[in-house]
Structure 1
Amino acid sequence: MSADAWTSVVTVVTLVSALSLAAWLWLLLARGFFWRTDVRLPAREEPDDWPSVCVVVPARDEAAVLPASLPSLLAQDYPGRAEVFLIDDGSTDGTGGLACELARRHEGLPLTVASPGEPPAGWTGKLWAVRHGIGLARAREPEYLLLTDADIAHAPDSLRALVSAAGTGGFDVVSQMARLRVESVWERLVVPAFVYFFAQLYPFRWIGGGRAGSGRGRATRTAAAAGGCVLLRADAAERARIPDAIRHAVIDDVALARAVKGTGGRVWLGLADRVDSVRPYPRLHDLWRMVSRSAYAQLRHNPLVLAGTVLGLALVYLVPPAAVLVGAATGQGTTAALGAAAWLVMAGTYLPMLRYYRQPLWLAPLLPFTAFLYLLMTVDSAVQHYRGRGAAWKGRTYARPDAVAEEGRAG
């Protein structure tokens, strides 16, 4: 490469690194302070008259985690009327029988175990199970529904804290992002970043900003929930036609929040203190499957959005370390300084999430490597989709939402 050509390359890298730094300054200051981890259950007062709650737990082949999660639901210290409905979604590992055995062993809330059969076309298995559970719960006329996954363990006061927060704040949805397990090397590297990226996409402060259509700014249009722990007001579920309106959604928690907010409901989402996932992801393969099964669905199966996402990830996360290396190799101090500044801001915004997960802070500078893994997972999700294996989970593969919509219109 000639000297002029190399100079041009360095100039381009310098300009791109400046753009990356500008992007990080915008993310730091104008993206709802997504990097902060202080959004926890809002101020709450316990009611004099506790509303009734039905807990719906969809479960498919969850015998491995159920002993660590279901007893925590049965042991809820809730002053009002509450009961648990575990919906066995075609398990082959004895999930339903184990749930009944655990209920016999542990005193607490009453448990009903039921099975809805195979989901019809246009439904994901989880939402078909949720529909069946909500149908059974409606016979009890509850004021609230708690939708929680089979791998989620709740502290004894979890339900009363959720209900108190919903009642005090006037929220139709109160959702907590369960603290995921972080024990293996790959979990330490990938899991905190997963929550960090989610918060970057859906800043928690924006989600609780107000009612949709209230004219209180862009924050009111941001909607998301964390499917592991969603307290939903029963009348809000009826208004939003949950889960029928989102029956095809692979990313069902975000779709639920959007549906509720779209009908004028109020949604709150934050990090959990005492709600934990007990599901292990010991290998990179396990985490890869967790992300890639729904990453392309998050991009609405749109190749142009995929291309933009890949370029965006590269600009924001990969350019800073590349600029440092190029600047150091060529003696271009400006290039290296711009890359280092962007990398420093990136690592600084990641520190609160590492603290939340009680992980060593030296992992912060490794975020570009983790982002590169997520970039590959996203591309792999698209590749698997076009091979007909996208959005696959526990033996099921789901169609694109637009295909389901076209099928519905044709019917």
Structure 2
Amino acid sequence: MTETVTEASSGHPIEWPAPTSQRAWPSISVVMPVLNESRHLAESVGEILAQHYLGELELIIALGPSRDDTDRVARELAASDSRVKLVRNPTGKTPAGLNVGVLAASHEIVARVDGHGILLPGYLERAVCLLESTGAANVGGLMLAVGVTGFEQAVAQAYRSPVGLGGGSFHVGGVEGPADSVYLGVFRREVLQRLGGFNEHYQRAQDWELNHRIRQAGELVWFSPDLAVTYRPRSSWVELARQFYATGRWRREVIRQYPDTICARYLAPPLVVCAILLGAAAGLAAATVGVPALLWGWLAPVAYGLGVLGASVLQSRDLGWRARAWFPAVLATIHLSWGAGFLFGRRPGGRGR
């Protein structure tokens, strides 16, 4: 027996299973790879264990070689709750930790959660309902970026903005339905095993790459805005620049392996970096060789700077003054670090670009 519920965020009826007292819920293994996550780990684990899910639940934490107190915090959490299991991930790489966790999982549904992700109430129950009602191999939703400091709030707003990370539904929201990729994900374990799990070559973008293989295998990836996970953004400018330099580098690797996935959104940051570098070089050459026409080269960096300032005014209106002050620098850092990583980052496992 099912009941029809209309979800406000999706605007159309969804067939949810009968009330919890009238059904048996499948067991879930939550897999969490962690590295240097002592700041957020206890909160993240606490929210997972506090999910009001009536089926059996286990949490497998794959411990990388952290340099902070992550291992101590994890041991204390495991000692306080028998549902928490610890496994080792010697490489510390995210896809390796995910695969180690999946191998240790006892159940047929596997949910991925990161060490700084916070599940909203009802997340696991809704995910299971969607797996059953859609027949999808993976369901997921929004990366709900939330910052504390002014800088973090600016980063979170850039994540959610079309002028920041672009128009992906798991960043900016969208209508429920089939998707190319989703944030994190709740999987059928059988599909993970059949496709060989996460590709450990991809230190970044391994979720996108796996979802691409899932769709190539004829399976369904399903997005729902009702499935949201709170994400804690980077807390310093240096960390943000490093993150997006690596993101651009790995996006180029994805396009190299899957050239049919290339699109304007992925090419925009490297094209901006090229325009700025060429324009600045032309402008400097004008002063050196005395060719006035080359002064037009400054148009590219100036136009980009004005564009960032204009977009910042529009996109940061709801932020506090500290976050508004940071927003132009955050936006430019995301664009230019991503583009520089795409253009100049060393090819993973290789000696050249």
TM-score over 0.5 (shorter chain): yes
Give 1:89's match in structure 2, choosing from 64, 69, 73.
Answer: 64
User: For residues 8-407 of structure 1, what are the structure 2 equivalents within 5 Å?
Assistant: 43=14, 45-46=16-17, 48-105=23-80, 107=81, 110-118=83-91, 125-137=93-105, 140=106, 142-197=107-162, 198-201=165-168, 208-209=177-178, 223-227=180-184, 230-243=185-198, 246-249=199-202, 250-271=204-225, 275-277=229-231, 279=232, 281-300=234-253, 309-311=269-271, 359=319, 371-382=331-342, 385-386=345-346, 398-399=348-349
What is the DSSP-based 3-state SS (H/G/I as helix, E as strand, rest coil) of the residue aligned with 2:46?
Answer: helix
Cα distance in structure 2, aligned partners of 1:205 and 1:64: 31
Residues 368-377 or 146-155, more deviating: 368-377
Q: 1:400 to 1:226 in 2, by over 3 A?
A: farther
Name the amino acid aligned to 1:78: Y
CA deviation after TM superposition for structure 1 residue 309, in Å: 4.1
Shift of 1:59: 1.0
TM-score, normalising length: structure 1 = 0.60
The 1:180/1:131 distance shift into structure 2, 3 A limit, reads same
Q: Write the distance in 2 (CA, Å) between the matches of 1:149 and 1:308.
A: 28
Deviations 1:18-41 (A, max 9, x none): xxxxxxxxxxxxxxxxxxxx5699
Separation in 1 of the partners of 2:88 and 2:28? 20
Shift of 1:274: 5.4
The change in CA–CA distance for 1:309 and 1:40 in structure 2 (over 3 A counts) is: farther
Structure 2: distance between partners of 1:402 and 1:168: 47
1:270, CA displacement in angstroms?
4.5
Amino acid at match of 2:25: W
Q: Distance in 2 between matches of 1:162 and 1:297?
A: 29
For 1:207 and 1:400, the matched residues in 2 are separated by: 40
Structure 1 residue 312: Cα displacement:
6.2
CA contact under 8 A between 1:53 and 1:82: conserved in structure 2?
Answer: yes
Inter-partner Cα distance in structure 1 for 2:56 and 2:62: 20
Aligned CA-pair RMSD: 4.3
Deviation at 1:135, TM superposition (A): 0.8
C-alpha separation in 2, matches of 1:256 and 1:266: 12
Q: What SS does the corresponding residue of 2:54 show, helix, strand or coil?
A: coil
Where 1:194 maps in the other structure, the secondary structure is helix
1:257-306 deviations in Å (ceiling 9; x for gaps)? 111111111112354675312x3533222222222222122133889998
CA distance in 1, matches of 2:191, 2:142: 21
Q: Alignment identity in percent?
A: 18
Higher RCO (C-alpha under 8 Å, 6+ residues apart): 1
What is the DSSP-based 3-state SS (H/G/I as helix, E as strand, rest coil) of the residue aligned with 1:78? Answer: coil
Q: 1:287 to 1:207 in 2, by over 3 A?
A: farther
After superposition, the C-alpha distances for 1:337-372 in whole angstroms (9 at most, x for unaligned) are: xx9xxx8xx969x76xx79xx6469x99x9877553
Change (3 A) 1:399 1:40: farther
Matches of 1:301 and 1:172 in 2, distance apart? 21
Q: Secondary structure at the match of 1:300?
A: helix
In the alignment, is the contact (CA less than 8 A) between 1:54 and 1:84 conserved in 2? yes
Identify if the C-alpha distance between structure 1 residues 384 and 146 changes in structure 2 by more than 3 Å, giving closer, same or farther.
same
| Counterpart contact for 2:245–2:345, Cα < 8 Å | no
1:68 positional shift: 1.6
**Could you tell me how far apart the structure 1 residues matched to 2:166 and 2:311 are?**
15
- Aligned residue for 1:182, secondary structure, equals coil
In structure 2, do the counterparts of structure 1 residues 184 and 144 end up closer, same or farther at CA, with 3 Å as the change threshold?
A: same
Gap change, CA 1:74 and 1:291, over 3 Å in 2 = same
For 1:273 and 1:359, locate their aligned partners in 2 and report how far apart those are by CA, in whole Å: 24
Consecutive unaligned residues in structure 1, runs of 5 or more: 1-37, 120-124, 210-221, 316-338, 391-397, 404-411
- What code does the residue aligned with 1:114 have? V
Change (3 A) 1:131 1:347: same
Using structure 2 for the length normalisation, give the TM-score: 0.69
Q: CA deviation at 1:235?
A: 1.8
Q: CA deviation at 1:148?
A: 0.8
Take 1:134 and 1:235, find their aligned partners in 2: how far apart are those partners?
11
